[in-house]
Amino acid sequence: MRMGQELEDRDYVDEREFLKRLRAETRLVSDCFRDERFETFDPPMIGAEVEAWLLDDNWLPAPENEAFLETLHDPLATHELARFNFELNLDPHALPGGLPKLKDQIGKLWADCTQAASRHALKPLMIGIPPTLIQDMLSEDTMTPSNRYKALNERVMAVRGKPTQVGIARREQLALAQNHLMIEAACTSLQTHLTVNPGEEARLYNAAQIAAGPVTAISANSPFLYGRRLWEETRIPAFEQAIGIPSFRARDGAKVGRVTFGAGWLRKGFMELFLENLDGHEALLPIIEAAAPEKLRHFKLQNGTLWRWNRPIIGGDCEGTPHLRIENRVTPAGPTAIDMVANAAFFIGLTRFIAALETPPETRMEFAAARANFYACARRGLGASVQWLDGDLHDVQRLIYDQLVGAAQDGLTAAGVPEHEAKAVLSPIRERAKSGQNGAAWQRSWVNCHGRDFQGLVEAYYGNQQGGRPVHTWRI
């Protein structure tokens, strides 16, 4: 979770004034759509953010991100909500050739992170949720010192009016109540960005929603939280319940939370979602900033406190030439740079393939089916069954291996990615689908073999991660 600029002493909170400015800036965005002012990209551009953990010598999360970041001293690295976490913001690239560049950049940054962490007797880790995380670790005391984080926490709890209730069950159960939102910090992710050309928004966004289920299944890497074996991608329910503020004013009267898969297919474009942000959700951080309306500061702050699993983004502002992109948030961090770039490639390629189908896929699938697929894949990973575009029920692992890897490769090559590059970058996806071993499956198998020694599990995971080999090759 990135919250943007820090809250300065000169900033102030005024809900009525914030709403006034938010409406004015939303009208400016609407004008940009009307006047066709958004940038067009050919080929598409991609980017990514990677969230990660710091561990101590006992393989436990270590609340030392400030000292670590000071030593690392890299403008691409920043703090996160909890003092255990940090984030790497990767450079944007044109899609052809861009995926290998992302892999190389993650590798270089990760080597720098490992070296900087070692100077504090720490180790960095890319994983959805570290199995050694203990419930008492996530509290207001371990929140990164930040006026904005503090304000967000206070506002979430004030709007909720009651403690955060978390209940997640599958093989085991987790039930707890907390007076803070810090369980959100348990969930670290890879966020993939894909530019969207004007007029393509509905097709690409709906396609991203359809792709979300299989992408979640193949990338799952978060089977444990607070010592319980829960969903294969436990980040999904944990993050949704951490915020847990429903809205009753979404499209079609649907009840949609601030962390959501959504309420229905897009009909025309992103403006539908931005109006939903305006009318369906109150401001969590109604902070007044001294900036021209064209800078869209209040618009972006509102959009940044709504965490759709596929989030619409406006890059730039209305003073220049803004652009549109989708931020995909379903994939966890890890297990390796190769795996994460493969996950990004699978999302991008499959989304573009689905969007390019002659018959709009949203006319062949009910939105409820896409949503059900997403949660089934988060719960069961590669063991899930999904309803696909042919209307039939498929084993998602077999569907990915038989059809969707090839579809993603076609989607990439149609966007200008050389065939050999597309095939190579997607190879870990095909091999995971063949073997059934993604990060979550490897973690479960390790525990089945060695017992619930979570420190031993994280030590083995870290050794494999530092080795750099993709997760489908890891041994138990």
Quick: pLDDT tens for 407-422: 999 999 999 999 999 9
CA–CA dist 87, 191 (Å, integer): 11
Q: What residues does 94 pair with on adjacent strands? A: 45
pTM for the full model? 0.95
Give the torsion sign (CA, 427, 431, 437, 442).
negative
Question: Look-up: residue for tokens 């969230």?
Answer: 51
Q: What residues does 259 pair with on adjacent strands? A: 307
Exposure of 144 by Cβ count < 10 A (0-12 exposed, 13-18 middle, 19+ buried)?
A: buried
> What single-letter DSSP state applies at residue 309?
S
Contacts 24+ apart (CB under 8 A), 448-451: 449/476, 450/476
Give the pLDDT confidence score for residue 255 in this predicted structure. 66
What's the CA angle centered on 13, arms 11 and 14, to 5 degrees?
A: 130
pLDDT of 295-332, one tens digit each? 999 999 999 999 999 999 999 999 999 999 999 999 99
CA–CA dist 464, 452 (Å, integer): 19
Please report, to the nearest 10 degrees, the dihedral formed by the alpha carbons of residues 407, 410, 411, 414 taken in order.
Answer: -160
Alpha helices in 294-360 (DSSP H): 297-304, 337-355
Short-list 76, 85, 124, CA closest to 465: 124
> What single-letter DSSP state applies at residue 404?
I
pLDDT of 275-284, one tens digit each? 999 988 888 8
